Amino acid sequence: NAGVTQTPKFQVLKTGQSMTLQCAQDMNHNSMYWYRQDPGMGLRLIYYSASEGTTDKGEVPNGYNVSRLNKREFSLRLESAAPSQTSVYFCASLRDFRSYEQYFGPGTRLTVT
């Protein structure tokens, strides 16, 4: 099992460019999450998908969109990147919405200049 995988590992964008961060899990988990982590801020939830076919906003959704493509894949899109979106992005999965332990991907370090 690869667990949770994310691509790319690193990305540099110019302000206004768009990109999609990919996340996939092979654990047959129902729930998936996107977080961003900034220095001194802990992890903040951007969007989540409690189950295939549903997505909901988290704490900091502005400037992002998500797609739960199927049970395995949950992508995060930045339509028009801004320097404030410079961060490390983590994807995580949970067996189901009532489970406790999240499994995290290795992260994507994004810099917007």
For residue 98, the minimal CB distance to another protein (Å) is 9
In the bound state with another protein, the residue whose beta carbon lies nearer, of 9 and 14, is 9
Catalog residues that contact another protein under the rule CB under 8 A: 4, 33, 35, 40-45, 90, 100-107
Neighbours of 75 (CB within 10 A): 17
Judged by beta carbon, residue 17 or residue 72, the one nearer another protein is 72
**Least distance to another protein, CB of residue 22, Å:** 16
Judge contact between 103 and 92, C-beta under 8 A: yes
Q: How far is the CB of 56 from another protein (least distance, A)?
A: 10
Residue 11 or 17: the one with the smaller Cβ distance to another protein is 11
DSSP codes joined into one string, 19-68? EEEEEEE-S--SEEEEEEEETTTEEEEEEEESSTT--EE-S--TTEEEEE
